[in-house]
């Protein structure tokens, strides 16, 4: 008994499922159009902002990180691990920073963990809190000296 192979039918392998395209930029933000992004709040102060793998904006500093917590509300994390996976080194100077944060009007302590402390604060306190965590300057910004018109 001989078996015949039918060569008229062609079968192709099943197609692999398509992957979602990688989003490089966040299309709008979750809080709505009336809420300023962290980048727009940090730009006048010359502070560095980066996006984590989820597309959220974070403002890193030597002793912590600032991020958007809700509409009109920011949060600062002292210590622990940043959103990009790098650890904030625990130092003795952190204690002084936490005491200053507790004394600052408008900062509300929310979480106290083994390695980190989280505070909520309004958008208007961003420059003060950025000083507390020693926020990093944006790339390419230098200290600007007085212009000739200002000096005259």
pLDDT at 50: 92
Nearest residue to 62 (alpha-carbon basis) of 104, 90, 26 = 90
Q: What is the pTM of this model?
A: 0.70
Q: What is the pLDDT of residues 78-133, one digit of tens each?
A: 988 888 888 887 677 788 888 888 899 999 988 888 788 899 999 999 999 999 99
User: Is residue 123 in some structural domain?
Assistant: yes
User: Is residue 7 in some structural domain?
Assistant: no
Q: Sheet containing 57-60: give its strands across.
A: 50-51, 57-60, 64-70, 73-79, 116-122, 108-112
Q: What is the pLDDT of residues 7-66, one digit of tens each?
A: 666 666 677 667 665 555 444 556 566 788 899 999 999 999 999 888 889 999 999 999
How far is Cα 136 from Cα 45, in angstroms, rounded to an integer?
Answer: 11
pLDDT at 49: 93
User: Is residue 99 in some structural domain?
Assistant: yes
Here the CATH number for the domain that contains residue 124 is 3.90.1150
pLDDT of residue 5 exceeding 70: no
User: Is residue 48 in some structural domain?
Assistant: yes
- Give every CB contact of residue 116 below 8 A, 6+ residues apart in sequence: 64, 77, 78, 79, 80, 81, 88
Domain assignment of residue 77, given as a range: 38-135
Q: How confident is the model at residue 145 (pLDDT cuts 50, 70, 90)?
A: very low
* Residue written as token pair 């989280």: 118
Is 126 in a helix, a strand, or coil? helix
Are the C-beta atoms of 75 and 69 separated by less than 8 Å? yes
CA 93 to chain centre: 23
User: Is residue 16 in some structural domain?
Assistant: no
Per-residue DSSP letters for 23-77? P-S-SS-TT-TTSPPHHHHHGGGTB--EE-TTS-EEEEBSSEEEEEEETTEEEEE
User: Is residue 58 in some structural domain?
Assistant: yes
pLDDT at 75: 93
Higher pLDDT pick, 145 / 90: 90
User: Is residue 19 in some structural domain?
Assistant: no
Q: How confident is the model at residue 138 (pLDDT cuts 50, 70, 90)?
A: confident
Nearest residue to 68 (alpha-carbon basis) of 111, 120, 129, 124 = 120
Domain count for the chain: 1
User: Is residue 17 in some structural domain?
Assistant: no
């Amino acid at each position: 008994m001989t078996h015949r192979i039918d060569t008229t039918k062609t079968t192709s392998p099943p197609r692999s499922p398509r992957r979602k395209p990688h989003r490089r930029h966040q299309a709008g933000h979750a809080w709505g159009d009336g809420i300023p992004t962290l980048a727009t709040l940090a730009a006048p102060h010359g502070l560095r902002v980066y996006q984590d793998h989820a597309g959220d904006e974070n403002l890193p500093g030597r002793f912590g990180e600032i991020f958007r917590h809700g509409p009109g509300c920011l949060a600062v994390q002292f210590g622990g691990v940043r959103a990009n996976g790098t650890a904030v080194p625990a130092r003795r100077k952190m204690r002084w920073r936490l005491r200053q944060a507790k004394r600052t009007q408008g900062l509300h302590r929310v979480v106290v963990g083994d390695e980190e402390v989280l505070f909520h604060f309004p958008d208007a306190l961003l420059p003060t809190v950025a000083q507390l965590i020693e926020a990093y300057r944006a790339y390419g910004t230098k200290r600007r000296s007085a212009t000739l018109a200002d000096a005259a």
